[in-house]
Amino acid sequence: MSEYKYKIGITQGDTNGIGWEVIIKALSHPSMVELFTPVVYGAKHIAEFYARGLEDIEPLHFNICNSAAEARKGKINLVECGAKDIRIEAGCATEESAKQALDALERASADLVAGDLAAVVTAPINKESMQKVGFGFTGHTEYFASKAEGEPMMIMCSDVLRVALQTVHIPVDKVAESLSAEKITASLVALRQTLKQDFGVVEPRIAVLSLNPHAGDGGLLGSEEEQIIRPAVQEAANQGVLAFGPMAADGLFASGGYAKYDAILAMYHDQGLAPFKALSPDGVNFTAGLNIVRTSPDHGTAFDIAGKNLADAQSMRNAIYEAIDIVRRRSDYKFWSRNPLEHFEREKGRDVSMKDLQAAEGN
């Protein structure tokens, strides 16, 4: 198994952003193709355009293929996507660049769902431009949820901390009405499972953030903590989850208390992402809860520096590394948690001998 190289898809993202720059920089080291088999979804002429602006980086040599099924080990494979005559306008949000991003995303997700890829790493898109070309989703998280099985959960992860979101891409004034004890309990149960399955945590400890300042101050600043969040934490505990809270976000992060927990469940987007990005500037976005694996860098298109050779590729590298690690951990978890008798046809009341158990363990 150690010699097996997973095929990891990488989408080009918005072609006027920093997507190609961080992809080229991330894949430029020869050791990358020894770690996994890259399958990039994008346009070769756009890659070459951005490569010319990277004086300290050797141009990538692509093996052109029609799909991930044709990808070759030891090569940087490229599935050509989008129009070949597109005008490149680095730093500008255009419908043409969004169409390129959408085509790459659709080709990669099709190969992922078909089982020809182990995971997909997505370069950033411009959500506003994507809506103009018929994307129809508020982000990658919702898009992949429509293509796969399961309930998606957005988790930001790094070596420092992991932050999961109860609500994702919704307006702040809709957050409170979107919360319920049932939904938070379900999220905590799902978060415990992904921490065990995808991150290898034996028994996770999870901190739950409050919605209101000072955790509601006993109802003075809001009732959600006492009526929704605290009952959800208790119910999750009844179901075996080591969940603690609700806790005020400012106190938990400012005191360094987050380090005591394997993950934090935030109630809304910026409550979780603002401190995460401050503490982990090279973190990774992982779409958990699905039967497929998708990660991405934790930054956007960065139009302000696109085409200027200023983008840091570390978050893209980390997204690739995390995708590989999650695929491996998930496979290991499935193996070690399997039912040792699942291959036996058992009749009602049949006794199982030690010989049966030993034979099952040897499979």
The pLDDT tens digits of the residues spanning 185-202 come to: 999 999 999 999 999 999
- The pTM assigned to this predicted structure is 0.90
Selected residue with higher pLDDT from 27 and 169: 27
Provide the pLDDT for residue 2: 40
Beta strands 37-42 and 7-11 are: parallel
C-beta of residue 105 within 8 angstroms of C-beta of residue 134: no
Q: What is the arithmetic mean of pLDDT over 156-183?
A: 96
Around Cβ 178, how many Cβ atoms within 10 Å?
A: 14
**Residue 101 pLDDT more than 90?**
yes
Residue 360 confidence (pLDDT) above 80: no
Q: Which of 298-302, 323-327, 346-350 is predicted least confidently?
A: 346-350
In the predicted model, is pLDDT for residue 362 greater than 70? no
CA contacts within 13 A on the Cβ side of 232: 27
CA–CA–CA angle 278, 284, 290 (5° rounding): 135
Whether 356 shows a pLDDT value over 90: the answer reads: no
Task: State the pLDDT confidence band at 172, using cuts at 50, 70 and 90.
Answer: very high
pLDDT value at position 219? 87
User: What percentage of residues in the chain have a pLDDT greater than 70?
Assistant: 92
285 and 298 in contact (C-beta within 8 Å)? yes
- What does DSSP assign to residue 281? T
CA distance 27 to 52: 15
Average pLDDT, the chain: 91
Task: Give me the mean pLDDT over the 329-345 stretch.
Answer: 75
Say how far apart CA 179 and CA 165 lie, in whole Å.
12
- Report pLDDT digits (tens) over 203-247: 999 999 999 999 888 888 889 999 999 999 999 999 999 999 999
Residue at token pair 């997973």: 6
**What does the pLDDT average to over 59-84?**
94
Kindly tell me the number of DSSP H helices and DSSP E strands found in the chain.
14, 12
Tokens of 116: 């020809």
Under 8 Å CB-to-CB from 61, ≥6 apart: which residues? 76
